[in-house]
Amino acid sequence: MSTCKLMEPIQVGSYTFKNRIVMAPMETRLCTPIGDTTPQMCDYYAERAKGGAAAIIVENTFVDSIASRSSISSSGLNSDHLIAGKYYLAQAIKENGAVAILQLSHGGIQANGNAVPGQECVGPSAVASKFVGRMPRALEVDEIVAIEDAFADAAYRAKCAGFDGVEIHGAHGYLICSFLSPYTNKRTDEYGGNPENRARFLKNIFAKVRAKVGYEFLVGLRISGCEYVDGGLTIEDTTAIGKMVEDEVDYIHVSVGNYETMANWMISPMYRPEGAIVNLASAMKKAVTKAKVITVNALNPELAEKALENDDADLVAFGRPLIADPYLPLKVKEGRLEDVRPCMRGHEGCITSFFAGHPIRCEVNAQAGREREFKVYQVKNPKHVVVVGGGMAGMEAARVADLHGHKVTLLEAGNELGGHFIEATEAHFKKAARGVLNWEKVQLEKSKVDVRMNTAATKEMIEELKPDALIIAVGSEYIVPNILGIEKAYTAEEVIMDPDKAVGKVAIIGGGLVGTETALMLGQAGKEVTIVEMREGIALEDEPLSQIALNTELSKVNTEILVNAKVKEVTDSGIVYESQGITHELACDTVIAALGLTSRSNVVDSLKIDGLETYVIGDAKKGRKLFNCTSEAWLAVKKINGDYE
């Protein structure tokens, strides 16, 4: 980056932010069942404060009864007894150099029904979220007033706990957003109808919050710049709301969407373009004159810098990128962009964990949510660790072992590091994932790891190296199905690395993630593609939101999908498949076999040495995803360390 506005200080309310980077709020599920703070939660946010962000906006925190929480383990501040826990959290952030802001929310029509089984959900009207599926009860006016008071009380508790400010969550289809939106607000009283009435709930909340906390305390608003649903909020609506409330807020944080449009907009996966909603923040920036404007959503440092240079926003919020690399701000400040570990927007840790009810994880950063468990330190008794395999699992294991002070030798049979992740990140929509691969390579180059390329490991070779511990990360190989004439087909790897091999009409055998992403890549290149999958759907192993977005992108290209279809033969003119007991022929010019990957168990067994401390990780253990590779690499090194601080 030629200039660096990201690192310029800025005045926000009564606070001087040391730079323009804030951490966006994302639920961690590191709370107790009642919404209290845990040591793990403090560690997680402290690490991001240490990393140089000017401000940390702590996750969605419910203000009313526990039934108003957006997830089963949301943070809470609906009672005075939660102040003490939040004090520790605020101090963990502030002691590490960041401004501490707490986001306050009410789940409303999107409140999690499992939080309090049998508890009704409420909203402005009896209009259900299609994503959640629970019919809400329309709130009475006295109940609305009580919730306004609850926001004010929670803001005061946040101030008592030592936070520097609060962010009122008016985005993403939660209660405030549902009042603002004509899509969900069908009221005819003073809280519905025209835009001013629909904004009354929000305006009253701000008035009551300011009466409780004063004007030295930071107060911000998060809002969906557009909901992208028919009849929902538009940017014209939200800029008008911004003008209505800018006298009461220090900043407006412009996000996007609600739960119904989450997959393609709110939490956009790798298949969607980066920085796609900067235009919404830009419109808000032009509309308001007093409040600072924050932009967010799938940004990298280069795009963030561009947004600031173009005056599209005053500050930039990073959510997933700061999960992937808490030290992104410091690395930007020091000009070390090559050391910034990218977020690959695969969602296997942050979003999949969220919907599964698990604590936050990250597919590229195994330390996320486990900062204490996976703390880096210099071991008391360094060992010689031999790592066999230079794919993603092997590289991460070698890197982490080196960080802890071990002597590490990495043996790779090929002439390039990365394994199957090379072809897996070849498509243009896998740019961020390729960035993760390149990051691993750069970190190894900077390490003390002895990397030996074109070295096919044998048991004898390992014995000669006399290691104290062995990590086997030899990866996987493509499954060759028992189909007549399969030798006439290309593998997915062959076509991905040389798309010119795919001529004419293309049939892909297998609708898993490999086959589906190959279809998207070829479809976007103008090819006519048919996916033939024996299961009931495609990309079933993909993270749910990514799966929706992948299907959305496939619908834009010339791709046919055949499910419940089992291929019986590959012929010179196409394929023969069976569906519902009927045999069909599909004419095509190119056939691609994409049946997934299987571990190289025979290679693994040939490398094991009796009595040697050995760990099998990544695809060598079982063909899976990057999330498993990184986690298992850290776990293996943790066991090898033996001595703990």
Nearest residue to 72 (alpha-carbon basis) of 45, 110, 42: 110
Query: Which of the residues 174, 251, 271, 577 is marked catalytic?
Result: 174
Q: Residues near 537 by Cβ (< 8 Å), separated by ≥ 6?
A: 511, 563
Two tokens, residue 144: 């609305």
Q: Do the beta carbons of residue 76 and residue 104 sit within 8 Å? A: no
Q: Do the beta carbons of residue 268 and residue 297 sit within 8 Å? A: yes
Alpha carbon separation from 80 to 36, 71, 89, 181 (Å, rounded): 11, 21, 15, 32
Burial of residue 569 (CB within 10 Å: 0-12, 13-18, 19+) is: middle
Alpha-carbon gap, residue 473 to 490, rounded angstroms: 26
Nearest residue to 514 (alpha-carbon basis) of 357, 625, 640: 625
Two tokens, residue 1: 């980056």
Question: For residue 471, what are the β-bridge partners?
Answer: 387, 615
Q: 200-230 burial by CB neighbour count: b if 16+ within 10 A, else e?
A: bbbebbbebbbebbeeebbbbbbbbbbbbbe
Alpha-carbon gap, residue 84 to 82, rounded angstroms: 6
Alpha carbon separation from 476 to 449, 454, 514 (Å, rounded): 23, 18, 14
Which residue stretches of 310-407 are H helix?
320-324, 328-333, 350-356, 392-403
Alpha-carbon gap, residue 135 to 123, rounded angstroms: 9
Q: How many CB atoms lie within 10 A of CB 160?
A: 16
- State in Å, rounded, how far the first CA of the chain is from the last one: 39
Instruction: Decide if 615 is catalytic.
Output: no
Amino acid present at 14: S
The 3-state secondary structure of 229-242 reads CCCCCCHHHHHHHH
Q: Point out the residues that are catalytic.
A: 174
